Amino acid sequence: MTTPPVIVQPDLEAWVWSNIRGLSPGITSFAYAAEQVFPGWVYTHFIQVDARAKRKDAARALAEQARQVIYALAETPWPDGAVVYVQPVEGPLWLPDDDGLPRYVTRYEFRVHPLAPPGAITTAGEPASPHRRKAASARSTA
Amino acid sequence: MAGARFRVIDRHAPRKAVDPDIREITERIAQDASADAPRLTGRLAASYRVARGVAPAVYLVTTDVEYAKYVEYGTRNMAARAPMGRALAHARR
């Protein structure tokens, strides 16, 4: 019996934060849920992004800036993994803080998988990632 | 089939067909949110209700607790607990 390889999942929450933190001190993000789609490989992450500013229109503009950065993550090279899907599931919605500070809230769904290192082979001799398995299968049938 | 004509006698039929399943999913989401809600008095956890929407196969999970939005989305002084968001995330799997 062989031991399945351990696939380290990339830290999407940190990746999203590192991309949006420079937009404004009023931007915050956190992950509130994660589900596995393809066990050990593709995970769905749900992240909330809050855009706060002194005025409502500034908060809305900040939320839009964050949206554009987040949408671009699917095409942004990431050393740890790949974002293969990103969509807002809620918002941007107007939800001031309990003390009245303007805030727009947006929740996004991401699907990500890690990058298999070049030449990675599992202990069973199978290519490590589904993509590599598919490519190997295509080569063997050609 | 040349010349065949079809008449739509119930344009909501596809929605009516899936209505029971959608209701069941919505009730599960409300139950999950209730189970995941923080409990101090239990008022929020007991408040999630399923309501019928404006069309077949449209259901809403509602709550009349005024602080529910702050528990769900957090504030700058309080972390979000996201009971509905987590229940929806699980349902979307």
Q: What is the pLDDT of residues B29-70, one digit of tens each?
A: 999 999 999 999 999 999 999 999 999 999 999 999 999 999
Give pTM, 2 decimals. Answer: 0.82
Task: Give pLDDT, residue B89.
Answer: 94
Q: Within an 8 Å CB–CB cutoff, is residue B77 touching chain A?
A: yes
Residue B67 lies in a domain: yes
Classify A108 in phi/psi space as left (phi over 0), alpha (psi -120 to 50) or beta: beta
**pLDDT bracket for residue A9 (50, 70, 90):** confident
Question: Are A10 and A34 a contacting pair, CB within 8 Å?
Answer: no
Q: What residue numbers bound the domain in which B53 lies?
A: 14-91
Question: Are A13 and A29 a contacting pair, CB within 8 Å?
Answer: yes
A106 vs B42: CA distance, rounded Å: 27
**pLDDT bracket for residue A128 (50, 70, 90):** very low
Residue B7 lies in a domain: no
Task: Give the distance, in angstroms, between the CA of residue A62 and the centroid of all CA atoms in the same chain.
Answer: 19
Task: List CB contacts (< 8 A) between B79 and chain A.
Answer: 30
Tens of pLDDT along A54-103? 999 999 999 999 999 999 999 999 988 999 999 999 999 999 999 999 99
Q: Within an 8 Å CB–CB cutoff, is residue A13 touching chain B?
A: no
**Taking the CA of residue A132 as centre, how many other CA atoms within 13 Å lie in the half-sphere pointing to its CB?**
15
Task: Give pLDDT, residue A1.
Answer: 66
Residue B3 lies in a domain: no
Structurally, chain B folds into a number of domains equal to 1
Q: Is the CATH code 3.30.2000 the one for domain A12-141?
A: yes
Task: Give pLDDT, residue B44.
Answer: 96
What is the least distance, in Å, from the CA of B77 to any CA of chain A? 9
pLDDT tops 70 at residue A134: no
Q: Which residues of B11-36 are buried (b: 16+ CB within 10 A; e: fewer)?
A: eeeeeeeebeeebeebeebbebbbeb
Residues B71-82 have a mean pLDDT of 95
Residues B15-40 have a mean pLDDT of 96
Question: Cα separations (Å) of A22 from A59, B68, B93?
Answer: 15, 31, 32
**pLDDT bracket for residue A37 (50, 70, 90):** confident
Task: List CB contacts (< 8 A) between A95 and chain B.
Answer: 69, 73
Residue B58 lies in a domain: yes
Could you write out the DSSP letters of every residue in B12-76?
THHHHHHHHHHHHHHHHHHHHHHHHS--SSSTTTTT-EEEE-SSTT-EEEE---TTHHHHHH-BT
Residue B61 lies in a domain: yes
Q: Are A44 and B93 inside 8 Å of each other by CB?
A: yes
Residue B82 lies in a domain: yes
Q: Within an 8 Å CB–CB cutoff, is residue A46 touching chain B?
A: yes
